[in-house]
Amino acid sequence: MPVDGIPEEKVLKLPKKTDANYSMSYRGSSQRANSRGPSSPNRQNKRGSQGQRPKEASKRQSMLNTHKIAPFKYDMNEILSQSSMDPVMASSFLASVIAKASRISTRDAKDYAKTFVDEGNLTKDEYDRICRLMDRYSKYR
């Protein structure tokens, strides 16, 4: 039966909630909605992480103690202010040493400082003082 003079085939029929294939999507798809939610590859199963490999413990390394960075900076600035290194270069050197010593290991930070000795920016005595300072402010983690 025509509605307001419009033929039945031209009238848009909206699904009702009581229909078997009712979907809440905005695109008006006539497929049934999934009641379990999205299934993504990152979704864990109901048993937790049973299928995953156990974590392997990494070897402990000597790293800069992050709770003592402020006194470490103070002592490093004393050493670098007495050195012949350019103050701008000393600032970036200090930042790189702190980053390497706190994130990678103090051994890598010492290797980085050794390159400055090879270039002539630091003396052997200053390098030894910096290494002793790193050893004093480091811990194994």
Per-residue pLDDT tens digits for 83-134: 999 999 999 999 999 999 999 999 999 999 999 999 999 999 999 999 999 9
Collapse the DSSP code of 54 into the 3-class scheme (helix H, G, I; strand E, B; otherwise coil) and give the result.
Answer: coil
> Model-level pTM greater than 0.75?
no
Specify which residues 64 forms β-bridges with.
138
Which secondary structure element, helix H or strand E, spans residue 93, and what is its range?
helix 87-103
- The answer to whether the beta carbons of residues 51 and 45 sit under 8 Å apart is yes
Structure confidence by residue, pLDDT tens digits, 29-84? 555 555 555 566 666 556 555 667 777 878 899 999 999 999 999 999 999 999 99
Count of CB atoms within 10 A of residue 40's CB? 6
Six token digits for residue 139: 């811990």
